[in-house]
Amino acid sequence: MAGIVVIAEALNGTLNEVSLELLSKGRELATSLGQPLIAVLAGEGLDALAPPLQSADRVVLLDDPALGKFTPDAHEQAIAAVIAPMEPRLVMIGNTTAGMDLAAGLAARLHWPLAAYCTGVRMEASDLIGVAQLYGGKLFAEVELGSQSVIISVIPGSFPAVAPGGTGVIERAAVPAGKSRTRFKELIALEAADVDIKKAQALVSVGRGIGGPENLDIVQDLARAIGAEVAASRPVVDSGWLPKARQVGKSGLTVKPKLYFAVGISGAPEHLQGMKDAEFIVAVNTDAAAPIFEVAHLGIVADALEFVPALTERVRAGA
């Protein structure tokens, strides 16, 4: 078994950031093992997407109209045909909506084991150990990945991204004519994000404890006063108070800001999954037993509707 393979992902002509995150970890492992790092990208019209992946030693493009729109079986067939003969030690895939399908399909097709929902992978002597998240982040399992070819799917945001570019060799592989049992019908795009909360240094995140959309002003005011962006828990987004692009957590985004200010958020595992690695967490909650206090560096038991405006006033007054 030789080589670390990263399956890169792109949508509508844009690379998913997780591809660069996997390449950074892939490079670390490939260097430890003294083996090559190979990026594989499937799609159509890939010329402009290959150069950012060139931190890999080889960038293998599967460029074909049949792969223009993602369907799990067409992508599986094409990717399996190119990676099976490589017999890589490790295949890394983003644990994204498409990546989850692809990783499971490749594992079944190639009879290679899969460790899904990984947040880490490391070498221990000559063994590869994966860290996989279970029960929405309540438990983490260390998985011995064995010495055969193995696939892991990695939760986006788990590793820092490598800078795009490099000198790796770009190759085009033949796409075998296959028959797809699934048909792409329509892409329902996420509404355009007005802000990328993953890049914010400070977030004021609002939960159901705020009561209703009429009270959002108080968190927006605090965010403005401290130079933060506003984020939210899922119920706030599901209720339509804030857009989906602001949601933090398992079915939202993973963020690691310097400051995460949680207002009226209980701290359910699915929420913690997306923010527990923030550098400094402040929580305001009326319930002293709320689980958010288990991860908070500073906990304030108070009514957010009173505390947050008072704090904003003090910040503005420079106190």
- Write out the residues near ligand FAD by the rule CB under 6 A: 207-209, 233-235, 247-252, 264-266, 268, 270-271, 274, 284-287, 290, 303-305
Please, which residue, 17 or 270, has the CB nearer to ligand FAD? 270
User: CA nearest 59: which of 77, 71, 47?
Assistant: 47
Nearby residues of 159 by Cβ (< 8 Å), 6 or more positions away: 21, 22, 24, 25
Containing 232, the helix (H) or strand (E) segment is strand 229-232
Q: How far is the CB of 206 from ligand FAD (least distance, A)?
A: 8
3-class secondary-structure state, position 294: helix
Please, which residue, 19 or 233, has the CB nearer to ligand FAD? 233
Q: How far is the CB of 128 from ligand FAD (least distance, A)?
A: 28
Question: Scanning the structure block, which residue is given the tokens 């799917």?
Answer: 153
Please, which residue, 173 or 300, has the CB nearer to ligand FAD? 300
Please, which residue, 245 or 304, has the CB nearer to ligand FAD? 304
Q: How far is the CB of 122 from ligand FAD (least distance, A)?
A: 27
State how beta strands 150-154 and 90-94 pair: parallel
**Termini Cα distance of the chain:** 61
Q: Cα angle vertex 75, ends 74, 81, to 5°?
A: 95
Q: How far is the CB of 274 from ligand FAD (least distance, A)?
A: 6
Q: How far is the CB of 117 from ligand FAD (least distance, A)?
A: 12
Q: CA–CA separation, 224 vs 214, rounded Å? A: 17
